[in-house]
Amino acid sequence: MEDCFPALSRRRDGPWLAHRLDADTAGCLLVALRKAALRAAQAEFAAGRAGKTYWAVGSGEMTAEEGVIRLPIARHSDRSGWRMRPDPGGAMAETHWRVLGRAPGRTWLELTPHTGRTHQIRVHCASIGLPLLGDPLYGGEAGAPLHLLARGLRLAVDPPLAAVAPVPAPMRSALAVCGFTGCS
């Protein structure tokens, strides 16, 4: 991604990523072209004021309509690599979730993380019995791309910033089965 940055600006300094997404996550990513914009965006993220909304397709069926997951997570390594996992000694992570649609064996979720931990949404969804489709690291069905979309991003900077990402082609069929019509 960052290899393309020189095409975005003729300035020698910048552009810069204002935040990160997991490598397999599609969607909104904020790129700052000026240092002042980068600092303002990073301040919003650091203070927890950045509004982030994700869509995901979970492998399984959720009967409740919405809830909040409060679960500390920490990084753990072994011979096969590293992963995040629930850990009482880890950093507290909080995610609000809401069901947007259902199908046999699938649940379409809207997720709002209130903290920004690595793999937070993936670990939280697995912890409630809904590992994400395409996420073999945390128990989801392998063989498909990760069904996680950074759907929306809002920052109360001057002027305010808001973006909504379109649904990527690999997620469309799973969302359609759950009731997505392409108009949301």
Q: CATH number for the domain including 153?
A: 3.30.2350.10
Phi-psi region of 179 (alpha: psi -120 to 50; beta: other; left: phi over 0): left
* Helix, strand, coil fractions of the chain, as percent rounded to 5: 20, 35, 45
171: containing domain = 49-177
Does 72 fall in a domain?
yes
CA distances from 51 to 12, 22, 92, 113, 133 (A): 30, 17, 18, 9, 24
Render pLDDT for 44-100 as a digit per residue (tens, 0 to 9): 988 888 999 999 999 999 999 999 999 999 999 999 899 999 999 999 999 999 999
Rounded CA gap, 94 and 86, in Å?
Answer: 12
Asked whether residue 83 is assigned to any structural domain, the reply reads: yes
Number of domains in the chain: 1
DSSP 9: -
Q: Tell me the longest C-alpha to C-alpha distance in the chain.
A: 53
- The pLDDT tens digits of the residues spanning 103-148 come to 999 999 999 999 989 999 999 999 999 999 999 899 877 778 999 9
How many percent of the chain have pLDDT more than 90?
70
- pTM of the model as a whole: 0.89
Asked if the structure places residue 36 within a domain, the reply is: no
Q: Does some domain include residue 135?
A: yes
* Catalytic residue set: 22
The answer to whether residue 110 sits within a structural domain is yes
Which H or E run contains 184? none
Does residue 30 sit within a domain? no
Contacts with 47 (C-beta within 8 Å, 6 or more apart), sequence order: none
Looking at the domain assignment, is residue 94 inside a domain?
yes
Instruction: Give Cβ neighbours of residue 3 (< 8 Å, ≥ 6 apart).
Output: none
Distance CA 55, CA 103 (A): 15
Residue 123 lies in a domain: yes
